[in-house]
Amino acid sequence: MTVKHWLLGVLVAILLAVTPLIAPSYLTFQLTGVMAYAVAAIGLNLIIGYAGQISLGHNAFFALGAYTAALSVAHLHVHYVVSVLIAAAVTFVVGFLAGFPAQRLKGLYLALITLVLAVSVSPVIKHFKAYTNGMSGLAVDRPSPPAWSGLTQDAWVYYVVLLFTAVCFFLARNFVAGSTGRALTAVRQAPLAASSMGVDVNGYKVLIFGLGSMFAGIGGAIFNFSIGFIAPDSFNLLLSVSFLAAIVVGGLGTVWGALVAGLFLQFVPSYASDISNALAGAVYGGILIVCMFFMPKGIVGSAIVWLRERQTVKN
């Protein structure tokens, strides 16, 4: 990384750190949501952008993480940080197991199965209403700031979520950089060639499915903190497709694209329903289609391509 990159990174870090102290609390609240979505988006990006598998069922793992965290606090009385870890473990295991049948399926069929998964989330949650409170939803205690910090609850939640987000970003970054990243690219672009060179293609796919689902679960768990209330209707098919739209706009196969995705998921739905309640779906649909026509690599992806071309012109 050049000096310029370093400075930029430090600047961003400082900005992120002081935001809750200087920004109005609703903005802090919204940014917390952005981060939760971004973490989940990292997961989907790993699955689709890096492993080339199409998952439309990401909302299921997001929901699983949210409910696992909420229930472990409510019934097991664990600390909220622990609840996130439990959510991560559960969603990793479930995702990993789901990855086994998933890797056997050709892209389209995988999309179909995950589509069914997406549609089943709401019914399953409602069915187990003894635990989940069904349609009425579950209220969750948001993390309280300790007395010594002097922070508001929104600010404290922000910092907790920021910590988890930063850790997730670094984990993802390290996972995709280096030899794992090269193997991932090989798996995505030329699975047959990769496999003939000894890369355990199927093994990677299963692992990534597990990791991607884990990130969704973590995202769901910290989403919990930011809202304080979860209900089945927030985890429906539209959420899954929104995730897809968001990372497509952000940029498949880029870690920063997940951040753009987070911004997209937090702010676009309310703008879309400002335009017209009914047309929210059309806005998403339109964005998806237009993006595929003109910017198939998404904002970050296209930016990277543009920057690289500028580099080559300079050289």
Which residue ranges make up the site for another protein (CB under 8 A)?
48, 52, 54, 56, 101, 104-109, 111-113, 115-117, 119-120, 123-124, 126-127, 192, 237-238, 241, 244-245, 248, 252, 276, 278-289, 291-293, 296
C-alpha angle with apex 42: 36 to 47, nearest 5 degrees?
135
Q: How many helical (H) and strand (E) elements, i.e. helices and strands, does the chain have?
A: 14, 2
Q: How far is the CB of 83 from another protein (least distance, A)?
A: 26
Pick the closer one to another protein by CB: 118 or 162: 118
138 beta partners = 230
Choose between 107 and 178: whose C-beta lies nearer to another protein. Answer: 107
CB of 75 to another protein, least distance (A): 22
User: What 3-state class would DSSP assign to 222?
Assistant: helix
Q: Least distance to another protein from the beta carbon of 201, Å?
A: 13
Q: Name the minimum Å distance from CB 72 to another protein.
A: 24
Closer to another protein at the Cβ: 178 or 281? 281
With b meaning 16 or more CB within 10 Å and e meaning fewer, what string describes 72-90? bbbeeeeebeebbbbbbeb
In the bound complex, what is the minimum distance in angstroms from residue 310's beta carbon to another protein? Answer: 21
Strand 229-230 with 138-139, pairing: antiparallel
Supply 13's token pair: 């870090």
| CB closer to another protein, 166 vs 237 | 237
Start-to-end CA distance of the chain, whole Å, equals 18
Asked if 211 and 43 count as a contact pair (C-beta separation under 8 A), the reply is yes
Give the residue from 104, 41, 66 showing the smallest Cα distance to 240. Answer: 41
Task: Work out how close the CB of 128 gets to another protein at its nearest, in angstroms, rounded to a whole number.
Answer: 9
| Residue 110, amino acid | L
Answer whether 122's CB lies under 8 Å from 248's CB.
Answer: no
DSSP 298: H
Residue whose tokens read 């903005």:
27
Looking at the Cβ atoms of 164 and 209, the one nearer to another protein is 209
Under 8 Å between Cβ of 84 and 218: yes
Rounded to a whole number of angstroms, the minimum distance from the CB of residue 207 to another protein is 20
Strands (E), 56-166: 138-139
**The tokens of 306 are what?**
């543009």
In whole angstroms, the minimum distance from the beta carbon of 184 to another protein comes to 15
Tell me the HSE value of 256 on the side-chain side, using a 13 A CA sphere: 10
